[in-house]
Amino acid sequence: MFKRVLVANRGEIAVRIVRTCRDLGVTVAVLYEPGDMGALHVRLADEAYLLSSPHGYRDSDEILAVAKRISVDAIHPGYGRISEHPGFARACEEAGIAVIGPGSTALEQVLDKVGVIAQVRAAGITTTQPSTRSFGPDESDALVAEAATLGYPLLVKASSGGRGRGTHLVREPAQLLDTVRRSSSAAQAVYDDNRVYLESVTLPSRYIEVPILGDHHGNFITLGDRDGSIQHNTRKVVEEAPAPGLSQELREAIWGTALQVARMFHVRGVSTVEFALEQDGTYRFAEVKPRVQVEHMVTEMLTRIDIVREQLYIAAGKPLSYTQDDVRLRGHAMLCRVNAEDPWHEYLPSPGRITGFRLPGGPNVRVDTYVYAGSEIPVRYDSLFAKLVVWGATREECLNRFQRALQEFQVNGVQTNLGLLRMIASDAAFVAGVYTTEFSRHHLLKTPPPSENLRDLAAVAALAFIGRTRAARPVTPTAFTSGWHRDSRRLPQ
């Protein structure tokens, strides 16, 4: 096992990795920008090193320079740009530093999204239909022609990186070029690559993910499946495992296909193979995520397997700690992203100081976060600051616990999406487990609030009215001025 690991990230994922390293007795170093000096990952790590680059955690050259200077054995990039950067992985390998991920060769393969789909299709697996190549934002005529061939609706997706950043749904031709510009700009900012590609999409559908563990000894196992269909701007809002409503036959077929894809590209460590599931039961391979995902916690609650620990073991050359027969999928788990944003005002980010912070608790409730009362949510990074995940023996038990935990979760000082998450958890389609990727379009911000919320709002409004009109003034009861209390104490004559 490694003796010293550098965590090349920030936020809740950095805290998560620090804790697992310390559980294993590994010395853990972290990086920080001046604004992150008081961040939780800095407070919990054994060592912390200041980044001087204006690019911060995205500056792969400075990260590698720090790693060499302090002589670490390995770098854990978490998720984000560095985790999917083949050039960074190759530079680390040449320097004799392990990158906790699939390696530069596998990254180069799976990040060619159009090429991956072509290879998977050539193997006889049903896939989504992508454009024939990637495009720059200035190739307007070629983009319009390719979109007409694919047909609408379609997705504009970043050629590099994950599904969330730079991915947008286009329902009609008039939206195409403006959407491409926005996607290209986001992809450039996050991945240093402004190329995009198009992908035909069938609506409504569901988004099914299969997490995979693979080692350097040819062993691969699946860790069940997840449903990430509830999204905003193609970024998952709520996720649950296992995906509701799938027959066991269909579920096992999807797992088998995911294993076949992972083996095809020799993806080591943790990865996720993603599928679009249509209403007629057809499932189409979409892409491979060659890193730990934001939502990995929901799989950990279901399997009780520490995925980050397995990443460390695999990167150190050890075989998997589990066989497929060892993987037990028990009960049900649900997860949501808690963001500092205002869903009722176009999801406007809400950075600032946390003045009050109350976490939910109780059995089988977990929160991964980097904030605490008095800490800051910065302007320049993602609004995600916490992830709540709960487990229950059944989906009903899990759902009740999920709703209760969301009610307990309180944050003061910034706007959050907690109110929206409570509405989702109470929505009839979500409660029944019959939602699709169209849920966000038809339900988010349109569902009537629960009656208890209306009751609380009425009480708040009444108190506010009283305070504003100063209607609550102290009054001395007339009975008190009559002297009855003095008479009651007088001794009998």
- What's the structural domain count of the chain? 3
Query: Are 212 and 195 found together in one domain?
Result: no
CATH number of 156's domain: 3.30.1490.20
pLDDT digits (tens, 9 = 90+) for 111-134: 888 999 999 999 999 999 999 998
Structure-derived torsion over alpha carbons of residues 357, 362, 367, 372, reported in degrees to the nearest 10: 20
- Spatial neighbors of 409 by CB under 8 A, at least 6 apart, are 338, 358, 359, 360, 367, 388, 418
Query: Are 434 and 314 found together in one domain?
Result: yes
CATH number of 356's domain: 3.30.470.20
Number of residues written out for the chain: 493
Query: Are 240 and 308 found together in one domain?
Result: yes
pLDDT at residue 189 in the model: 73
Rounded-to-integer distance, Cα 410 and Cα 406, Å: 8
pLDDT at residue 188 in the model: 80
Q: What is the pTM of this model?
A: 0.88
Calculate the average pLDDT of the chain: 91
Last residue within a domain, chosen from 419, 442, 465: 442
Query: Are 19 and 80 found together in one domain?
Result: yes
Query: Are 257 and 162 found together in one domain?
Result: no
Catalytic residue among 291, 366, 401, 422: 291
Residue 124: inside a domain? no
211 beta partners: 272
Last residue within a domain, chosen from 83, 100, 117: 100
Residue 478: inside a domain? no
CATH number of 12's domain: 3.40.50.20
Whether 291 is a known active-site residue: answer yes
Rounded-to-integer distance, Cα 15 and Cα 368, Å: 8
**Can you read off the two tokens belonging to residue 90?**
């190759």
pLDDT digits (tens, 9 = 90+) for 309-340: 999 999 999 999 999 999 999 999 999 999 99
Last residue within a domain, chosen from 442, 457, 485: 442
Rounded-to-integer distance, Cα 446 and Cα 429, Å: 13
Residue 446 has pLDDT above 60, yes or no: no
Residue 493: inside a domain? no
| Domain range for 266 | 207-442
- Spatial neighbors of 182 by CB under 8 A, at least 6 apart, are 168
Query: Are 387 and 302 found together in one domain?
Result: yes
pLDDT digits (tens, 9 = 90+) for 67-93: 999 999 999 999 988 998 999 999 999
Query: Are 375 and 295 found together in one domain?
Result: yes
Residue 290: inside a domain? yes
Query: Are 77 and 140 found together in one domain?
Result: no
Judged by DSSP in three states, 354 sits in coil
Q: Measure Cα distances from 163 to 116, 239, 335, 457 in Å.
A: 15, 15, 18, 37
Query: Are 158 and 243 found together in one domain?
Result: no
**Is the CB of residue 5 less than 8 Å from the CB of residue 73?**
yes
Residue 448: inside a domain? no
Q: H or E element: which one contains 31?
A: strand 27-32
